[in-house]
Structure 1
Amino acid sequence: MKSVTLLHRIQLVIAIIIAVCFLIPVVWMLFVSIKTEGSPIKTLVDWFLPPYTFDNYSKVLSKTSMLRWMGNSLFIALVKTVLTVLFTSLAAFAISKIQFHYKQAIFLFFVAGLMIPGEATIIPLYAVVKDMELLDSYLGIILPGIAAPLGVVILKSFFDGVPRELVESAEIDGCGSFKTYSTIVLPLAKPAIASLSIFTFIGSWNNFLWPYLSITSEELYTVPVGIPTLLANYTVDYVTPMTVNAIASIPVIIAFMLFEKQIVKGISFSGIKG
């Protein structure tokens, strides 16, 4: 019993140390973002000492296109999240609960998709989107991202846990496949869907490579694409860069804080470890 308690305390200490290591850069960024430009920094402690000002935020928001870029990122992330959840859940339900030939082989294709790095598909993807005349448009940014093999794998592993008897009962009561999916299986998968939604949203918000390649108009810039252009001529002073990055990070931090429980539940229910 004592060994179990000691092990638990060691794990707790290790977890706290890891959490602090992740939090220090975030806290440093927030403190630097509210310091006055040109503040003398002689020691590490000086980064966290006053004077403080929030004028940096108002200046960045009023004199740059950050709000527009954040609006673009939010719109793209929300639409991509909804479409990704819709299509991956339909695919996962079909593979998990509908009997048809070669469904295991099809599922293996989805699993194989996880082993292909996204960078390897950039050139053919760009060629396809160009031929469809979707470059420099919201559709050109959103549509390639809704094909998410990981989402299919996550939701299929959850749908496999839904009792077959429950699905058969719905079929006996006259429910078709889509009604069974929408009224029986999907409501039971809320934890996994919440987890997938958060991962998709954050991934879309932070995505740089594909928007950078497919966008040429500044009005369509997302936050990751706009920030490098905004800071191309920044000085050695850290205040403005940290303010810009703090503004870009705040929505994602808030989303994670609001949906932390759903993320943990989704990971545990879907059977994903790591």
Structure 2
Amino acid sequence: MNGAMQQRSQLGWTVAGAIACLVLAALWTFPLLWAMSTALRPEHETVSAVFHWLPQDWTLDAFRITLGAGNLPRWLFNSALVALLVTVVTMAISLMAAYAFSQLRFRGRSLLFGVAMLAFLLPFEALLVPLFRTMNQLGLINSYAGLVLPQVVSPVVIYVFKQFFDQIPADFREAAVMDGAGPLRVLWSVYLPISGNIVWAMAIVTFIGAWNNFLWPFIIVTSNDMMTIPLGLTQTYDAFGVRYAQLMASALLGALPVGLAYALFQRRVTQGFLAASGLKG
């Protein structure tokens, strides 16, 4: 009897969880579907007093006009280049810093790690003025280096990597050191292969964050050719006025690359976060 009751209770929780997931999925999917529906309408339908879920006259005019307006290919290239550079440099810095904080013993290690973690308390907006002044003094205004460098230090990624490295048995490192491997060799040959999934997860999250970053490019960029896609789309908004179909088309085009990136690496991202939480995927 107790077994049957437990099974019914477990089944009830499973069904409730499935329903909750479906509701959350619907809430997440609805804005995306509505944006696609709006982008595929002629402009006069977007302001029509008669509501329709689907376009009455399907058209790709909004996408055609958006691709022809502004400098979208250049903005996409800038976003891809900046996001890729930010991701690669952030991963390199974070892996080395996390390995040092986790596995090396040196004077002031705890203090330095505490200082690094204090960055959690500082919003990026509080650093805008000193960062801009530094980039200006270095002559990096309106340059790729100016776009990339202020984004490459991520306390969150350092913390996640350190917590993961702390769980790796010390025997692995000791064996490599006995074979004559230095710190970088140990990190590259021992810790990095073990951390593959979590590195991929953090890389995808970092890439998406760099791609979607609007505030810093807005501050540092002064020319149309150096704009990234989030900043460039604001220029098309001004040009389009209240043309909602073209606004939705530009937003979908801007989000498409990161959506594809996440879809391709979704499994690695999930496995990485499971590894970071100490669970097995």
TM range (shorter): over 0.9
Identity of aligned residues (%): 27
For residues 50 and 249 of structure 1, the distance between their equivalents in structure 2, rounded to whole angstroms, comes to 25
Displacement of 1:43 in angstroms is 4.2
* Structural mapping, 1:85-104, within 5 Å: 85-104=91-110
1:122 aligns with 2:153: no
* Structural mapping, 1:14-93, within 5 Å: 14-39=20-45, 41-44=48-51, 46-93=52-99
Displacement of 1:183 in angstroms is 0.7
For residues 265 and 56 of structure 2, the distance between their equivalents in structure 1, rounded to whole angstroms, comes to 33
1:153 aligns with 2:153: no
Task: Give yes or no for contact 1:154–1:272 (8 Å, CA) kept in 2.
Answer: no
1:260 aligns with 2:234: no
Letter matched to residue 12 of structure 2: L
Letter matched to residue 227 of structure 1: L
5+ long unaligned stretches in structure 2: 1-5
Letter matched to residue 165 of structure 2: F
SS at match of 2:141: coil
1:269 aligns with 2:275: yes
Q: State which drifts further: 198-207 or 47-56.
A: 47-56
For residues 58 and 272 of structure 1, the distance between their equivalents in structure 2, rounded to whole angstroms, comes to 48
SS at match of 2:43: coil
TM-score, with structure 1 as normaliser: 0.94
Letter matched to residue 248 of structure 1: G
Alignment counterpart, residue 250 of structure 2, candidates 239, 244, 247:
244
TM-score, with structure 2 as normaliser: 0.92
Flag as ranges the 4+ runs of structure 1 deviating above 4 A.
none
* Structural mapping, 1:216-255, within 5 Å: 216-255=222-261
Aligned residues: 272
1:102-127 CA deviation, whole Å, 9 max, x = no partner? 21221112221112111111111111
For residues 251 and 272 of structure 1, the distance between their equivalents in structure 2, rounded to whole angstroms, comes to 30
5+ long unaligned stretches in structure 1: none
Displacement of 1:210 in angstroms is 0.6
SS at match of 2:272: helix
Partner of 2:3: none
